[in-house]
Amino acid sequence: MIDNTLAYWGILKKDMRNYYLKPPNISWGIIFPVSWTLMFYLRSEQAVDIRAILPGVMALSILFGTTSMLSVTITFERKSRSFERLLLSPISLNLLMLAKTTGAIVFGIINAFIPVLFASFMIDLSGIHWGILSLAVLFIAITSTFLGLFIAVSVNEVFEAQTFSNFFRFPMMFLCGLFIPIGNLPAIIRPLSYILPLTYGSDLLRFSVNSEASIPVAANLLVLVLFSGLLFFLSTHNIKKRWIY
């Protein structure tokens, strides 16, 4: 038991020091929300309703932050063969993958609260359901990290991971109801929205920030848990099949 926790912390600490706390990644967390907010500001040509776009900016910060990290911490390590060292160590594959993803989950959570911090200087944040907001952030971070994991273990090259990520990220941006309400989408593509995990996460965020929601909180959480479980299972399955050849 003690063995495993030491290995878990060892991997997490190494990833933190080697990847997450490197200046480019820290600045990413700041540049991203600022540029998003600016984009909305320019587009609307008037005072932008920061509170209305806050859930969207938070969700995208998490999504982009987590998925792009995994292509480095997994695909790149695999390419440079250091991932083999982890596969050859006596810790179970499940624990190994949890150790490799915990850093990205924490990174995603921090990324989510940077826009909140900025917003707090500009607008009044009273009335936000902080409990549900935190749950939403946690579960979005977990789900999108595992999505990033699934992508990272399904490809061989870092650039493939990036391209493949965008294949998921951009449709999600437009179809998850953050900027265009799902009700306003053409009826044929609406079902698509409901197979994307971010739809449920953003519904939770909008409920906690702006008290508007279309799906019950518990249902949203349940769907996110199911998505996470499925993606994690598929990822370890892929590793066993492709990397322990």
Partner 1 sequence: MHIIEARNLVKNFGDFQAVKGIDFFVEQGEIFGFLGPNGAGKTTTINMLTGLARPSEGTITIAGLDGVRNIKKVQGIIGIVPDESNLYDDMGGFENLVFCASLYGMKKRKREQRAHELLAQFSLDDTGNRPFKAYSKGMKRKLTIAAGIIHEPRILFLDEPTTGIDVESARQIRQLIATLNEQGTTIFLTTHYIEDAERLCDRIGFIVGGSVVKVSTVQALLTEAQQEHVLQFWLEASGTHLQSELLDAFPMVSMSPESDHTISLRSKVPMDLMPFMHFFDARNIKVREARLVRPSLEEVFVKITGIELARLKKEKEGRK
Measured from the CB atom, is 6 or 189 closer to partner 1?
6
User: Is 89 one of the binding residues for partner 1 (CB under 8 A)?
Assistant: yes
Measured from the CB atom, is 10 or 181 closer to partner 1?
10
User: Is 238 one of the binding residues for partner 1 (CB under 8 A)?
Assistant: no
Among 42, 43, 47, 80, which residue sits at the site for partner 1 (rule: CB under 8 A)? 80
**What one-letter code names the amino acid at 13?**
K
User: Is 4 one of the binding residues for partner 1 (CB under 8 A)?
Assistant: yes
Among 42, 47, 88, 187, which residue sits at the site for partner 1 (rule: CB under 8 A)? 88
Sole window of 5-13, 142-150, 164-172, 192-200 interacting with partner 1 (rule: CB under 8 A): 5-13
User: Is 7 one of the binding residues for partner 1 (CB under 8 A)?
Assistant: yes
User: In the complex, what is the shortest distance from the CB of residue 26 to partner 1, in angstroms, rounded to a whole number?
Assistant: 16
Backbone angles phi, psi at 156, to 5 degrees: -110, -30
User: Is 94 one of the binding residues for partner 1 (CB under 8 A)?
Assistant: no
User: In the complex, what is the shortest distance from the CB of residue 66 to partner 1, in angstroms, rounded to a whole number?
Assistant: 22
User: Is 57 one of the binding residues for partner 1 (CB under 8 A)?
Assistant: no
Structure tokens, 243: 């990397």
User: In the complex, what is the shortest distance from the CB of residue 104 to partner 1, in angstroms, rounded to a whole number?
Assistant: 18
Q: Which positions ≥6 away from 205 have C-beta within 8 Å?
A: 55, 58, 59, 133, 136, 137, 140
User: In the complex, what is the shortest distance from the CB of residue 83 to partner 1, in angstroms, rounded to a whole number?
Assistant: 8
User: Is 26 one of the binding residues for partner 1 (CB under 8 A)?
Assistant: no
**Alpha-carbon span 27 to 24, nearest angstrom:** 5
User: Is 72 one of the binding residues for partner 1 (CB under 8 A)?
Assistant: no
Placement of tokens 């579960």 in the chain: 139
Instruction: Please check whether residue 116 is in contact with residue 136, taking contact to mean a CB–CB distance below 8 angstroms.
Output: no
Measured from the CB atom, is 69 or 205 closer to partner 1?
69
User: In the complex, what is the shortest distance from the CB of residue 224 to partner 1, in angstroms, rounded to a whole number?
Assistant: 30
Residues at the site binding partner 1, with contacts judged by CB under 8 A: 2-4, 6-7, 9-11, 14, 18, 80-82, 84-92, 244-245
